[in-house]
Amino acid sequence: MVPDIRSPMRGRSLAAFVLLVLFIAIAMPAADAAPTVRYSGTVAAIDPEGSVMILEEVGPWRVERGATVVTRRTIGLTPSTKYNLFMRVNVPGAFAGDFIEVVLDVNDVARGDFVTAECVRQGNRLVALTVTVAELE
């Protein structure tokens, strides 16, 4: 006896299978995306024309021979790297000290700025996706 393919149980099983396949198809590209890493510190040097920024990071906090250890990171910059400023504002009707993000240009980032760079690894190289300048008062 051949089972009826129109049975309710078979229809539900087929629907569940189709949903599972769709979920896997949607989730797979996200799983393949390169993981990002963040580094925060002071800009020691930036050369937009050379597509590089050197960041001096303090952390994890270590002291050697009485001095805080600073890790220098060379981070590549690309035409698609986004730059922004994260700053506090006092706006009527909003919370005092709220933060806003302002879009910047690479030329607005300068030596001595405190930044957070969200990066991906491309081979042995760190490449910035975003560079966020923190406004320090």
How high is the pLDDT of residue 60? 76
How high is the pLDDT of residue 10? 53
Is residue 77 classed as helix, strand or coil in its secondary structure? coil
Q: What is the per-residue pLDDT across 41-58, written as a single tens digit (0 to 9) for each?
A: 999 999 989 999 999 998
- Residue 18 bridge partners (DSSP): none
pLDDT above 80 for 119: yes
Q: How many CB atoms lie within 10 A of CB 86?
A: 14
pLDDT above 50 for 22: no
Compute the distance between CA of residue 91 and CA of residue 88 in angstroms, rounded to an integer. Answer: 10
Least confident of 84-88, 96-100, 112-116, 132-136: 96-100
Both tokens of 131, joined, read 């560079």
Burial of 13 per CB tally in 10 Å (0-12, 13-18, 19+)? exposed
pLDDT band at 7 (very low <50, low <70, confident <90, very high): low
What's at 49, amino acid-wise?
Answer: E
pLDDT above 50 for 83: yes
Q: Are 83 and 101 in contact (CB under 8 A)?
A: no
| E strand residue ranges, 58-105 | 63-64, 67-68, 71-76, 82-89, 98-104
Compute the distance between CA of residue 82 and CA of residue 134 in angstroms, rounded to an integer. Answer: 14
pLDDT band at 21 (very low <50, low <70, confident <90, very high): very low
pLDDT above 80 for 110: yes
pLDDT above 80 for 26: no
